[in-house]
Amino acid sequence: MQIPVLIWYPACSTCKRAHAWLTGQGIPFETRDIKSENPTAEEMAHWLELGGISLKNLFNVTGTLYRSMGLKDKLKDMTAEEMLELLASDGMLVKRPILVTEKKVIAGFREADWARALGIG
């Protein structure tokens, strides 16, 4: 069984809560800093194939970079491939934290969703 991966930004308060929650559950996991090791377009395309996550849900819509680039209006005219390439260009565009398991990927932190994905609770 593959160890879950927490893709996070260590300065993000929600990411810190997710890290603390995983640790408190006694779940072994690996971490990956989204800023220094951004997910690739290929990785994210694979996540979409697993289901449970949509392409638009991968965008960090509350982030300053998203807003400064005016992506709210631009995304509707972009292809899925263009969106994936854009997301892969900068980790700050990607919603976080992300939990990656063998069978599921979840963007954003909700304890109940993460517990289900990990088969606990």
Contact 4, 100 (CB under 8 A): yes
Q: Measure CA 118 to chain center.
A: 16
Q: What distance in Å separates the CA atoms of residue 18 and residue 72, rounded to the nearest whole number?
A: 27
Q: What distance in Å separates the CA atoms of residue 88 and residue 107, rounded to the nearest whole number?
A: 15
pLDDT of res. 58: 96
Q: What distance in Å separates the CA atoms of residue 23 and residue 6, rounded to the nearest whole number?
A: 11
- The hierarchical CATH code for the domain 5-118 is 3.40.30.10
Sketch the domain layout of the chain as residue ranges.
5-118
pLDDT of res. 2: 86
β-partners of residue 5 are: 30, 100
Question: Per-block average pLDDT, block size 10, for the chain (121 residues)?
Answer: 92 97 97 96 94 90 96 95 97 96 93 93 69
